[in-house]
Amino acid sequence: MPKFDANLSMLFNEVDFLDRFEAAAKAGFIGVEYLFPYAYPKEQIVEKLQKNNLVQVLHNLPAGNWEQGERGIACLPDRVDEFQEGVGKAIEYATALGCKQVNCLVGYAPQGVSPQQLKDTVVGNVKFAAGELKKAGIRLLIEPCNTRDMPGFFVNRTAQALEIIDLAGSDNVFVQYDVYHAQVMEGDLANTIEKNLAHIAHIQIADNPGRHEPGTGEINYGFLFEHLDRIGYSGWIGCEYKPAGITERGLGWRTAICGK
């Protein structure tokens, strides 16, 4: 049986963010993830986690000005200092929340900068972050995102993420494999996951098209979940989809697909 966590940035958005922890627990989730914790005092989130017996599975490094459309700064050569400061902030929060892994969104490729310079910047930032996080017992993840929903996102394929991991030369960097993004960009899901299983520390799911619940689109999640069990994937699977309606009404996919 897969170990699912609820992405509170997308699920239970019918209620205020801090109320989503209780909603997730009542819906049967034992873990949660979300984009960022930084708008709230650490102690406030810790209280929500403890009260609802939830594991903090994942959150992202600071990713620039999200409200203004930024989706990460790790590839931006002129913002390395800001990135490094964000690593420190992420460690503070992750340590307080008991979160053992954080994700790096690399961001959009800016105009007028060569691809090699962008790659070098990402590699340097990843190497720095991996080292600092390792000291705190926290893994660093890097996530490819599709360029249909996020045009210009610099790391958009599994092979790119793996190359950056190799160039960074750290044993503390892993792939966050988002099935939806991967299906849009490259397909071949089962084979890619199996071939690179040692480098994949976290999986996220949504169906395609629409990025709604599993079972609403073309991805055979019944097969994929059985495949993950068969190849020995033991990490969390984050439910990072846009509910087609009220979140609770759409959770029947877990029984329909997994039988539990």
| Catalytic positions | 143, 240
* Secondary structure (H, E, C), the chain: CCEEEEECCCCCCCCCHHHHHHHHHHCCCCEEECCCCCCCCHHHHHHHHHHCCCEEEEEECCCCCHHHCCCECCCCHHHHHHHHHHHHHHHHHHHHHCCCEEEECECECCCCCCHHHHHHHHHHHHHHHHHHHHHCCCEEEECCCCCCCCCCECCCCHHHHHHHHHHHCCCCEEEEEEHHHHHHHCCCHHHHHHHCHHHEEEEEECCCCCCCCCCCCCCCHHHHHHHHHHHCCCCEEEECCCCCCCHHHHCCHHHHHHCC
